[in-house]
């Protein structure tokens, strides 16, 4: 089953063409890693997929339903706001800077959206939040506030918050870039565990070894296009010159 | 006139000052939020209109605004003025003046909330309304408390400006007694009232700030 499909996504900021017709598709249970240099458009692609940016052209499809569909000229036409809101519950997003709500306790961060957005019962939300906290190794932090936690703990809360919405697909936008190398490991471990549980994920990352280990498919982007894609082996054996250059520079 | 009579008369005036203070906050705190929304509106004419309003409120003396609001209806529009207009004119002038200041404080507070908060809320499916009232506003209130405290303390003292339209609040009483009795004592008594009231206000605001200290 195809969870996400993006066809020919283009996006311009002023006169800057950030995305020049990018297409990806993600099957259920698949982990897609997007790598590439800064400014290559990978974060913008993720922001288009999560409806934080509107695409100029192309299709955005979740589970066969169009969030945006290209018209005859290729311009993206978006579904109604009500429909888009329903689609938002299909995906979750984990940000580079966590973006937890500082005035809510850890528990409230996790249950607020399920209760006030998805209108689930509080008892059920609390129960699933408890299970998620346990899974993240944060059972004892339910009543803490975000500022009292380390970066790694905050990011695990952010992952729990996203999972609490029971999304079909989870996006990660450089989830370890704001963390010390020490704390990076604990987040990668969590993502790896989710991959083992067959969570469908799209991960923008600079951790090459991690991308190779955890993903089923890797996309290398540069300058708004997909330069190369394939299995995890492209990290070790890239075929394109541009990919080789990037990975070499990365190893130094 | 005995000292006790003076205190009694001034205390009566204080009740009116206190009423002006309460009604002004009751009106200007919510109105300021609406003005702030207008100031940040995507609709340009509204944004400009609100900008001009704020500019006039901040750029001219409150004393002058009190005069215009009180005398305006009869002098400019030939309206017949009822007896309690004196009081309500003062309330209107204070409310529209303070709303302008509060609006700018709200705006600064709202604009200081990181974009990431809106993005997280959007991805979680919160509506715009939910995002504002559940996520943004509580954080804004914590951030703007110190400048709001400043304004509230200024308001306590500004109520004395209502004496310019002969509203019988505390300052007017102090002035009248002082002139008739030839003593500065009424002003000393009034000063004590203002000071003690402001001390209580500052104490209360500090308590609220402390209560919101549970997060950063």
Are the C-beta atoms of A84 and A78 separated by less than 8 Å? yes
Half-sphere CA count of B122, side-chain side, radius 13 A: 15
pLDDT at B30 over 90: yes
Looking at residue A59, its pLDDT comes to 92
Question: For B126, which residue in chain A has the nearest alpha carbon?
Answer: A117
In this prediction the ipTM stands at: 0.92
Is CATH 3.40.50.720 what the domain over B3-215 is classified as, yes or no?
Answer: no
Cα B161–chain centre separation: 13
pLDDT tens, A192-237?
999 999 999 999 998 888 888 889 999 999 999 999 998 888 888 8
Which of B139, B140, B159 is CA-nearest to residue B151? B159
Give the residue-averaged pLDDT of B15-28. Answer: 95
Tell me if B123 and A92 make a contact (CB, 8 A cut-off).
yes
The bridge status of strand A31-35 relative to strand A57-62 is unpaired
Q: Which residues from A are below 8 Å from B when comparing CB atoms?
A: 50-52, 85, 88-89, 91-93, 95, 97, 99-103, 112-113, 116-118, 145-147, 161-162, 165
CB count within 10 Å of CB B207 equals 10
Which of A16, A14, A44, A39 is CA-nearest to residue A222? A39
pLDDT at B83 over 80: no
d(CA A139, CA A116): 23
User: Is residue B153 very low, low, confident or very high in pLDDT (cuts 50, 70, 90)?
Assistant: very high
Half-sphere CA count of A95, side-chain side, radius 13 A: 20
User: Is residue A252 very low, low, confident or very high in pLDDT (cuts 50, 70, 90)?
Assistant: low
Structure tokens at B143: 């951030």
The structural domains of chain B, with segments of one domain joined by +, span 3-215
d(CA A173, CA A101): 18
CB count within 10 Å of CB B160 equals 19
Looking at residue A122, its pLDDT comes to 94
Give the residue-averaged pLDDT of B150-177. Answer: 90
């Amino acid at each position: 089953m195809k969870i996400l499909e993006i066809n020919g996504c283009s996006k311009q900021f002023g006169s800057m063409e950030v995305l020049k017709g990018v297409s990806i598709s993600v099957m259920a249970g698949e982990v897609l890693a997007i790598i590439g240099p800064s400014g290559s458009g990978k974060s913008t692609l993720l922001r288009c997929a999560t409806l934080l940016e509107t695409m100029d052209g192309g299709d955005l499809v979740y589970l066969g339903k169009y969030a945006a569909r290209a018209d005859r000229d290729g311009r993206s036409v978006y579904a109604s706001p009500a429909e888009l809101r329903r689609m938002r519950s299909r995906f979750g997003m984990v940000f580079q800077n966590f973006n937890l709500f500082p005035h809510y306790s850890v528990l409230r961060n996790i249950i607020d959206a399920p209760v006030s957005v998805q209108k689930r019962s509080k008892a059920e939300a609390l129960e699933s939040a408890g299970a998620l906290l346990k899974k993240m190794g944060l059972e004892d932090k339910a009543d803490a506030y975000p500022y009292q936690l380390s970066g790694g703990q905050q990011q695990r809360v952010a992952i729990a918050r996203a999972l609490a919405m029971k999304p079909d697909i989870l996006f990660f936008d450089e989830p370890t870039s704001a963390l010390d190398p020490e704390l990076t490991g604990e987040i990668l471990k969590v993502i790896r565990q989710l991959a083992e549980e067959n969570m469908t994920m799209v991960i923008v990352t600079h951790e090459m070894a991690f991308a190779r280990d955890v993903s089923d498919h890797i996309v290398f982007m540069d300058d708004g296009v997909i330069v190369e894609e394939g299995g995890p082996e492209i990290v070790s054996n890239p075929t394109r010159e541009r990919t080789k250059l990037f990975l070499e520079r990365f190893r130094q | 006139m005995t000292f006790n009579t003076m205190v009694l008369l001034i205390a009566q005036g204080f009740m009116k000052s206190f009423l002006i203070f309460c009604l002004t906050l009751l009106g200007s705190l919510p109105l300021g939020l609406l003005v702030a929304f207008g100031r940040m509106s995507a609709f340009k004419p509204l944004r400009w209109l609100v900008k001009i309003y704020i500019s006039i409120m901040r750029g001219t003396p409150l004393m002058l605004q009190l005069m215009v609001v009180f005398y305006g209806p009869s002098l400019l529009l030939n309206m017949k003025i009822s007896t309690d207009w004196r009081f309500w004119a003062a309330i209107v002038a204070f409310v529209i003046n303070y709303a302008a200041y509060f609006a700018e404080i709200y705006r600064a507070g709202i604009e200081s909330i990181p974009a990431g908060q809106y993005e997280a809320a959007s991805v979680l499916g919160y509506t715009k309304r939910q995002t504002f009232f559940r996520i943004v506003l509580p954080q804004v209130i914590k951030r703007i408390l110190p400048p709001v405290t400043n304004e509230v303390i200024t308001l306590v003292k500004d109520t004395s400006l209502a004496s310019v339209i002969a509203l019988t609040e505390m300052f007017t009483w102090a002035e009248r007694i002082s002139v008739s009795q030839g003593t500065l004592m009424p002003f000393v008594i009034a000063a004590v009232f203002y000071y003690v009231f402001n001390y209580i206000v500052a104490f209360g605001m500090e308590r609220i700030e402390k209560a919101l200290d549970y997060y950063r």
